[in-house]
Structure 1
C-alpha cells in the first residue's frame, strides 16, 4: 500500500479546514488584522532586549507600554467574541516590556549607572 493517497487525503482535509468560509471571513476582519499589525510592538521590544543598550531605555515609555498591554489583555477577553490573538500579542509584549523594565531598573538603580565613573561611557 502506498502512502501517497493517505497524504493526499490528509492534505485535502487540512486545506478544507483552513480554507473554509468561516476562516476566510475571520481573516478579513479587524479581529484578525488588528492584532497582526500590533505584533510589531512586541517584536521590536524583543529585538531591543538583545540589541539596545540599557542606558538608552526609556523608563516612562516602558512603564506606559507595560500598562497598555495589561489593559488590552483584559480588553481582549472582555469583548465579544473573545480575541485570543490580541491576548497573545499583549502577553508577549507584557513579557518583553517587563524584561526591558528589569534592564532599566538594573542599570539605573542597582548596578549599571552608579558603578561607572562620571563622564565615561561603556
Structure 2
C-alpha cells in the first residue's frame, strides 16, 4: 500500500518530477523565514513586505484550487504564507496604533 502511494505521488502531474512540485516546495522558505521573524520586534516589520506576502498567499491559494491538476503543495504553502503575513501585519498594526506610548519627561 505504501509503495502504491509513493508511486502515485511520483507519477502525479504535480509530482517531484515537475516544477509544479519544486517551486512550491522552495516557496516554503518564505513562510519559514516569516515564522523566524516572529521574534523580531514589531517596529522592524515592513508593511509593504508583509502585505505582499499576505496578498500573494491569498491570491495563489485561490488559484491553486481552480487549476488542474490539484496541487495541494501549492495550496498549503500559500495558506501558510497568507497566515504568517496576516499575523505579522497584525503585530505591526497593534504596535503602531494600539500600544501605549510611554512619554519621556522633558529635561529642564
Q: Please, what TM-score do these two structures have when normalized by structure 2?
A: 0.83
Equivalent residue number for residue 61 of structure 2 = 73
Larger radius of gyration: 1
Structure-2 residue corresponding to 1:29: 18
Pair 1:38-2:27 in alignment: yes
**Is 1:63 aligned with 2:55?**
no
Question: Matched residue pairs, number?
Answer: 101
Provide structure 1 residue ranges, at least 5 long, that are not aligned to the other structure.
1-12
CA RMSD of aligned residues (A): 1.6
Distance 1:70 1:93 in 2: 8
Q: CA deviation at 1:44?
A: 0.7
- How far off its partner does 1:117 sit? 4.2
* Runs ≥4 residues deviating over 3 A: none
- 2:86 corresponds to which residue? 98
The answer to whether 1:108 aligns with 2:96 is yes
Q: Deviations over 1:84-112 (max 9, x none)?
A: 11100011111111110011001111106
- State the Cα distance separating 1:82 from its structure 2 match: 1.5
- Answer 1 or 2: which has greater helix percent: 1
